[in-house]
Structure 1
């Protein structure tokens, strides 16, 4: 299923759903950040996805990282909340969503790296490489906030 992201675009379609989601900044021992190249839009992104009815938000991040990367992680902190109504995501099946995303910090505790059906590539990326990768600016914002090592999470 194809995915198109809009930001502050007057031509964006009207949302027909609101999705609560979680993402995670997962780092390795060298401080590199785990990113996936999404199959649905070919952009690099943090692992993450929608919350299931039986999930907590941290549990959603843990589950999504496992499903999308094969890694077991433990949530260690909060990067921020991302609820900008100007960000619209349209899918080829007709869903047009606003997304409420909570982005966590996480560390690897097990598992093995493996590509899922949602991605075409997984890679640990050094902070100096981030600007060279095609990425939606909402993902880049989460990474910027993570790298700023803020005392307080971003609330937006």
Structure 2
């Protein structure tokens, strides 16, 4: 059973800042793709922290070490706003965000996933980006 099998989706994400840049992933599932924090759905068999580390690696190619809890964002999703093409059926999206540090790996893009690109974005460029609410709330 994975996170798509229940109506509350637990997601784990990471804020990774280095040299005045933040690591973001381009979420390609919405009609208009948007930049988001690397991370995603936590499977039922996973500890939250393990799922965040896995998701960051899948979307960016980086191994990370998690730090402090940055915050939690809860989103209630109305039926007409669910992304049916992605198989979403959850009503509540609980997103837990941690600070993280890159410990290894090399920047790569996810293949056949929900994101299509990973990029280090200058913090100064964030206001001009089409970005997910987590980026604005937890980074700037």
How big is each residue's C-alpha offset from its partner over 1:123-149, in whole Å with a ceiling of 9 and x where there is no partner? 1112211011101334321223xxxxx
What count of residue pairs does the alignment treat as equivalent? Answer: 128
Is 1:106 the counterpart of 2:100 in the alignment?
yes
Match of 1:47 in 2: 38
Indicate which of 51, 56, 60 corresponds to 2:51.
60
Q: Residue in 1 aligned with 2:23?
A: 34
Relative to structure 1, the CA distance from residue 86 to residue 92 in structure 2 (aligned partners, 3 Å threshold; closer, same or farther) is closer
Contact 2:25 2:117 in 1 (8 A): yes
Kindly tell me: are residues 76 and 128 of structure 1, through their superposed partners in 2, closer, same or farther at Cα, counting changes over 3 Å? same
Gaps of 5+ in 2: 1-5
| 2:116 matches 1:125 | no
1:92 alignment counterpart:
84
- TM-score, normalization: structure 2? 0.81
CA RMSD in angstroms comes to: 2.1
Q: TM-score, normalised by structure 1?
A: 0.73
Unaligned 5+ segments in structure 1 are 1-15, 145-156
User: Cα–Cα, structure 1 residues 95 and 120, in superposed 2: closer, same or farther, change >3 Å?
Assistant: closer
**Greater helix content:** 2
Rounded to whole Å, the distance in 2 between the matches of 1:62 and 1:138 is 18
SS in structure 1 at match of 2:82: strand
Please tell me whether Structure 1 or Structure 2 has the larger radius of gyration of its CA atoms.
1
Output the CA distance in 1 between the equivalents of 2:78 and 2:55: 21
Q: 1:86 to 1:96 in 2, by over 3 A?
A: closer
SS at match of 1:83: strand
Partner SS for 1:82: strand
